[in-house]
Amino acid sequence: MRLQNLCLRILIAILTASLHLYAESTQPPYSCDSSDPSTKLYPFCQTKLPISQRVEDLVSRLTLDEKISQLVDTAPGIPRLGIPAYEWWSEALHGVALQTTVRQGIRFNGTIRFATSFPQVILTAASFDAHLWYRIGQVIGKEARGIYNAGQATGMTFWAPNINIFRDPRWGRGQETPGEDPLVAGKYAVSYVRGVQGDSFGGGTLGEQLQASACCKHFTAYDLDKWKGMNRFIFDAQVTLQDLADTYQPPFKSCIQEGKASGIMCAYNRVNGVPNCADYNLLSKKARGQWGFYGYITSDCDAVAIIHDDQGYAKSPEDAVADVLKAGMDVNCGDYLKNYTKSAVKKKKLPESEIDRALHNLFSIRMRLGLFNGNPTKQPYGNIAPDQVCSQEHQALALKAAQDGIVLLKNPDKLLPLSKLETKSLAVIGPNANNATKLLGNYFGPPCKTVTPLQGLQNYIKNTRYHPGCSRVACSSASINQAVKIAKGADQVILVMGLDQTQEKEEQDRVDLVLPGKQRELITAVAKAAKKPVVLVLFCGGPVDVSFAKYDQNIGSIIWAGYPGEAGGTALAQIIFGDHNPGGRLPMTWYPQDFTKVPMTDMRMRSQVSSGYPGRTYRFYNGKKVFEFGYGLSYSNYSYELASVTQNKLYLGASSNQVTKNSNTIRHKLISDIGKELCEKNKFTVTVRVKNHGEMAGKHPVLLFMRQANPGNERPIKKLVGFQTVNLNAGENAEIQYELSPCEHLSNPDDRGMMVMEEGSQFLLIGDKEYPITIIF
């Protein structure tokens, strides 16, 4: 979506200036008012009827012009039927957000002026805590409904989460995602969607009524915005069926089948020549047919227009309209459908039945949101009041999310935590130390309150001196002498450096992986001049090559803080001074600068030795790493023991005609041939004993991997098959269990994208421990 992030001061100014534009009733918009006798006669207002029947009645009453008017994100009202206007586009990536365009489904101009701003998703993912992700989704859904109840929303459909795979470290929007692993991205999608929509953590309790609607985006294989002359509007991603099967598609499948998302957004780009929004096989056969999607599909903004205007895939605007509606898309973010659908019908390129199909999906969602059930204050979720937005409970969760996500990357001599008693003075240096907007990443709303890193540290050490070091994060010039002078006079020095939205964002990918401008020069000079080794804090969504700092003895500790949200400064200070034990682990690989030789446009996941292509992500990348996926330190040491595995030999018997050999003469079998019954029968449980050997209580993510005895031949080096978090006091141990399905967790796709099981040994990996599992046909 073509959005530009505004700084917090401008955002607040816009909100204040907008008050006179929206001096509206605090009554939320809805249809089927029971006090209006005329609406009682409409079957679409009868809540006892099935939604499908109600929608059929409503659509049958619309003229062609009225129907077409509803196919765009800013859908006008239909006064003769008592239907108010509706805005499909609202944002809630890591908190209910304000859009910076004229289209505003959410407004912060009445009783509610703020919303809880959680860490940017990439940092939240570092907690590896699905329960935390669910609770964040719950808060976002509740606050969204509270804003609607206060009369400050004209839409309850939120275009989040972003669950694309963080394939390339240069991607400007990688910060919005849960990282590079498909299992993590899928689990995040399920947890967030269930929370937002009002389902239970385990799912299955939602029914028809939605608290708010979540939309998984961007479907599919979208992870390039603007890089060296190539942009997302014209990019044709060449993706193998094998990579689609085990990398790009699994998060969306989980989002639909387990999360029961009510929305999907199709992406700008083409995949193997076909625009995503015009791909019938993707939208109708795969999502709706194979995965059972029950919801609406929106285009990304102006994604229909570019099919003709930029990509040249459609010969005319009418062809573009016909292509997307026939493919299964329902609503256009933009005006293309409003402008060209009628002429497409007149030219017989599009039957009216396709419009009716789309409207059925759209009005079904609005009815599931309760917007056609009469006064919303008398409906489920009608009691969510303004005081539940930015509540103390919600703000406490934002703090916890930042605490649990922040990752300690270096601390060999235990510089951290700093002593609150022995630290008499502090120097805080860096362009990210004292700017509240830097905490928020992108797609944010006005936060309840913010605490910058400088403010958080000052709460511990009153004698704190600050210098930005660089006027901007780009750091084209650095005030090294002044920074060094301040550093020399302090007991401890904390450098707060990294990136911001001028370096990585939507429509801006990076070309380098190093720190911008003269940041490295500033860091090195200050570290050399300081009395003691310094602490380096990095704000960034994408990885940065800080190899120089990793091996510099003058830099005693490195912390990755992502974009930690409204409470980020407090969380960071608590970790630095030991009031919280860090436990986050990286959800993406940190590559060296040399990786930038690999074209960002190369979508291949798997390495290719013959050409020197190194592959991508921890599953396939065979090159050097600055920090690896899953890496993260703590103030405690943890040990693992594989306590038990209920089965170590899996008999997946088959008739001889179902077993084939690959090019390496390894016997393998299609998962579809094994069958659900045998897959279910061979599920097994892995029990891991974890012990905290440290002196501090801590929350620790435990990651369970699997590798094959003979990696290579396009198999992953290893892959994540389960993760859980455990809270342990000092000296305490606990057992955690993982249930694994061989057909899901031990299989890999062949070159046709078909999931297969190979005979032979695989190994469970937990820490430095391995355990063999044997598959027998």
* 103 is a domain residue: yes
pLDDT at 6 over 90: no
Q: Specify the DSSP element, H or E, that contains 60.
A: helix 51-60
Structure confidence at residue 63 (pLDDT): 98
Q: Which CATH number fits the domain that encloses residue 766? A: 2.60.40.10
Q: Which of 208, 195, 210, 211 is nearest to 259 (CA)?
A: 195
The 3-class secondary structure across 172-188, one letter per residue, is CCHHHCCCCCHHHHHHH
Look up residue 690 and give its amino acid. V
User: How many helices (DSSP H) and strands (DSSP E) are in the chain?
Assistant: 23, 29
- Predicted local confidence at residue 713, as pLDDT: 77
Average pLDDT, whole number, for the chain?
A: 94
Task: List the structure tokens of 159.
Answer: 């275009």
CATH number at residue 426: 3.40.50.1700
Same domain, 347 and 487: no
Pick left, alpha or beta for residue 605 (phi over 0 → left; psi -120 to 50 → alpha; otherwise beta). alpha
Q: Do residue 272 and residue 323 come from a single domain? A: yes
State the average pLDDT over residues 343-371: 98
Is the same domain home to 362 and 420? no
Does 32 map to a domain?
A: no
Residues with Cβ within 8 Å of 483's Cβ and at least 6 positions away in sequence, in order, are: 429, 467, 469, 522, 525, 526
Q: 359-386 pLDDT, tens per residue?
A: 999 999 999 999 999 999 899 999 999 9
Q: How high is the pLDDT of residue 712? A: 75
In a domain, 611, yes or no: no
Sheet holding 270-271, edge to edge: 236-237, 270-271, 274-275
Same domain, 308 and 425: no
On whether both 433 and 492 belong to a single domain, the answer is: yes
pLDDT-derived band at 20 (thresholds 50, 70, 90) equals very low
8 Å CB contact between 42 and 54: no
DSSP for 178-247 reads: S-S-HHHHHHHHHHHHHHHHT--TTS----S--SSEEEEEEETT---SEETTEETTT-EE---HHHIIII
Q: Which residues contact 61 (CB under 8 A, 6 or more apart)?
A: 42, 44, 81
Regarding whether 324 and 183 lie in a shared domain, the answer is yes
367, 412: one domain = no
Clarify whether 300 is annotated catalytic. yes
| pLDDT tier at 480, thresholds 50, 70, 90 | very high
CB 302 within 8 A of CB 336: yes
Residues 564 and 421 in one domain: yes
In a domain, 35, yes or no: no
Examine the domain organization and report whether 365 and 413 are in the same domain: no
Same structural domain, 698 and 752: yes
Cis peptide before 417 (omega within 30 of 0): yes
Q: Measured over all CA atoms, what is the biggest interatomic distance in the chain, rounded to whole angstroms?
A: 80
556 within some domain: yes
Domain extent for 426: 407-582
pLDDT in tens, 74-100: 999 999 999 999 999 999 999 999 876
Question: Of residues 663 and 519, which shows the higher confidence score?
Answer: 519
pLDDT band at residue 25, thresholds of 50, 70 and 90? low
Q: Kindly state whether residues 338 and 421 are assigned to the same domain.
A: no
pLDDT at 619: 98
Most confident of 24-38, 159-173, 669-683: 159-173
Q: In total, how many domains does the chain have? A: 3
User: Comparing C-alpha atoms, which of 562, 563, 180, 527 is closest to residue 409?
Assistant: 562
Domain assignment present for 496? yes
Backbone angles phi, psi at 494, to 5 degrees: -125, 120
Write down which residue in 541, 566, 582 finishes a domain: 582
Q: Is the pLDDT of residue 125 over 60?
A: yes
Element (H, E) at 760: strand 760-766
State the Cα–Cα distance between residues 583 and 579, nearest whole angstrom: 13
Q: Is residue 411 part of a domain?
A: yes
Q: Please check whether residue 69 is in contact with residue 76, taking contact to mean a CB–CB distance below 8 angstroms.
A: yes
CATH of the domain at 338: 3.20.20.300
Active-site residue (options: 300, 330, 509, 545): 300
Dihedral angle computed from the Cα positions of residues 537, 542, 547 and 550, in that order, rounded to the nearest 10 degrees? 30
How does pLDDT run across 235-293, given as a tens digit for each residue? 999 999 999 999 999 999 999 999 999 999 999 999 999 999 999 999 999 999 999 99
- The whole-model pTM stands at 0.95
Q: At what angle do helices 352-368 and 51-60 cross, to 10 degrees?
A: 130
Asked whether residue 652 is assigned to any structural domain, the reply reads yes
Please tell me whether residues 525 and 641 are part of one structural domain.
no
